[in-house]
Amino acid sequence: MKKIIPVLFVLFLIYGFVNQKEILIPNDAIRFRIIANSDNENDQQLKFQIKEAVERELANQLSNVKNSQEAEKIIENNLENIKAVINNYTSNYTVSLGLNYFPEKEYKGVTYPEGNYNSLVITLGNGIGKNWWCVMFPPLCLLEGKNENNDDINYKFYVKEIIDKYIS
């Protein structure tokens, strides 16, 4: 009987996490943003091709990172590799790692405020097109890319920690 209360508590927490549609972005997160040259279809396709290629370049290197400082160092040490990847698609771009401006964004009914955030920003051409962004560390970009049903994206590992803590 004494174990039933913690189990019910954990199930309640899991239910809350599973039904939450909001992805909370930690304060020490590293964002990843790509701004397209324009809104024309070719420029938008190019933006997504580069996004996929850069994610592939960094995915394995960031998979076991423990904190944002370590992630930022890995990204910084790979800037030339990132530029080489982008050069396969275009030569008209800029890359910025550090504090960069992000406009307000609404995602799944949650509004993320504008501001300057620690990030990797790739601006293609004139940079006047629609942008795409996500969180590179913790690796929410990679979760989103691998998950076919993006409504299920949450901090799954937090749920696992709770289960491990209260049921063990």
Per-residue pLDDT tens digits for 133-145: 888 888 776 544 4
Looking at the fold, whether 114 and 136 belong to one and the same domain comes out as yes
3-state SS string for the chain:
CCCHHHHHHHHHHHHHHHHCCCCCCCCCCEEEEEECCCCCHHHHHHHHHHHHHHHHHHHHHHCCCCCHHHHHHHHHHCHHHHHHHHHCCCCCEEEEEEEEEECCEEECCEEECCEEEEEEEEEECCCCCCEEEEEEECCHHHHHHHCCCHHHCCCHHHHHHHHHHHHC
> Do 75 and 116 lie in a common domain?
yes
Percent of the chain residues topping a pLDDT of 90: 49
Q: How confident is the model at residue 147 (pLDDT cuts 50, 70, 90)?
A: very low
* Domain of 12, in residue numbers: 1-23+153-168
98 and 42 co-located in one domain: yes
Say yes or no: 12 and 36 in one domain.
no
Q: Clarify whether residues 121 and 43 are in a common domain.
A: yes
130 and 48 together in one domain: yes
Total structural domains in the chain?
A: 2
Q: Look at the pTM and tell me if it is higher than 0.75.
A: no
pLDDT over 50 at 61, yes or no? yes
pLDDT > 70: percent of the chain: 68
| 89 and 44 in a common domain | yes
